[in-house]
Chain A
Amino acid sequence: MSHVDDGTLHAYLDGELSPPEAQGLEAHVAQCLVCRERLEEERALIARATELLARAAPPERDLPPFRPGDIQPPARLWWQVRLPLAWAATIALALGIGTYVGERGVARLEPTAHERPTIVADQLARTAPAPGPATASAPDSVFAGQRQRVSERRGRVSKPAASPAVGSVIEEKSREEMLRQPAADSIARPEAAPVSADRYLASKAAAPTPAHREMAQLNAYGGAVKGPPIGVDSARLLLGSDPLAVPDLPVRGIYRARMIGYTGMVIVEQELDSSTVIEVINGRRSPLALDAVVVSAAGEVRRDTQSPGARAMLNARAADSLAAAARPAPMPAADEEKAKHAASGLFVDVRGPLSPDSLAALKRLLRPLRP
Chain B
Amino acid sequence: MSDVSADSLAEIYRTTYRALVRFLYRKVWDVERAEDLAQEAFARAVVHKPENARGWLFIVAANMARDEARRAARERRHLTLLTAESQEGAPASDEVFQAEQERAQMRAALEQLTPRDREVLLLWDSGLSYSEIAAHTGLAQGAVGTTLARARRRLVEAHEAGEKGEHVARG
* Interface size of A as a range: 35 or more
Stretch at the interface among A67-75, A102-110, A331-339: A67-75
For chain B, residues 141 to 171, give those with C-beta under 8 angstroms from any C-beta of chain A. Answer: 142-153, 155-156, 159
Give A53 to B107 CA distance when docked, in angstroms.
9
Contact between A127 and B146 (Cβ–Cβ < 8 Å)? Answer: no
Contact between B106 and A66 (Cβ–Cβ < 8 Å)? Answer: no
Give A233 to B74 CA distance when docked, in angstroms.
51
The one of A7, A49, A217 that contacts B156, using a Cβ cutoff of 8 Å = A49
Contact between A55 and B106 (Cβ–Cβ < 8 Å)? Answer: yes
Closest Cβ–Cβ distance, residue A227 to chain B (whole Å): 5
Main secondary structure of the interface of B (DSSP, over half): helix
Closest Cβ–Cβ distance, residue A179 to chain B (whole Å): 4
Closest Cβ–Cβ distance, residue A184 to chain B (whole Å): 12
Specify the chain A residue showing the minimal Cβ separation from B22. A57
Contact between A126 and B50 (Cβ–Cβ < 8 Å)? Answer: yes
Give A183 to B39 CA distance when docked, in angstroms.
9
Query: How does the 8 Å CB contact mask read for B29-42 relative to A, with 1 for contact and 0 for none?
Result: 00100111001101
Contact between B67 and A119 (Cβ–Cβ < 8 Å)? Answer: yes
Contact between A199 and B129 (Cβ–Cβ < 8 Å)? Answer: no
The one of A50, A53, A157, A200 that contacts B106, using a Cβ cutoff of 8 Å = A53
Closest Cβ–Cβ distance, residue B71 to chain A (whole Å): 8
Query: How does the 8 Å CB contact mask read for B104-134 relative to A, with 1 for contact and 0 for none?
Result: 0111011000000000010011010110100
Stretch at the interface among A8-16, A27-35, A344-352, A358-366: A8-16
The one of A9, A50, A75 that contacts B149, using a Cβ cutoff of 8 Å = A9
Contact between A219 and B102 (Cβ–Cβ < 8 Å)? Answer: no
Closest Cβ–Cβ distance, residue A162 to chain B (whole Å): 11
Q: Is B26 an interface residue (CB 8 A)?
A: yes
Contact between B54 and A14 (Cβ–Cβ < 8 Å)? Answer: no
Contact between A56 and B110 (Cβ–Cβ < 8 Å)? Answer: yes
Contact between A7 and B145 (Cβ–Cβ < 8 Å)? Answer: yes
Contact between A63 and B46 (Cβ–Cβ < 8 Å)? Answer: no
The one of B67, B152, B155 that contacts A10, using a Cβ cutoff of 8 Å = B152
Q: Interface centre among B7, B105, B132, by most A CB within 10 Å?
A: B7
Contact between A58 and B22 (Cβ–Cβ < 8 Å)? Answer: yes
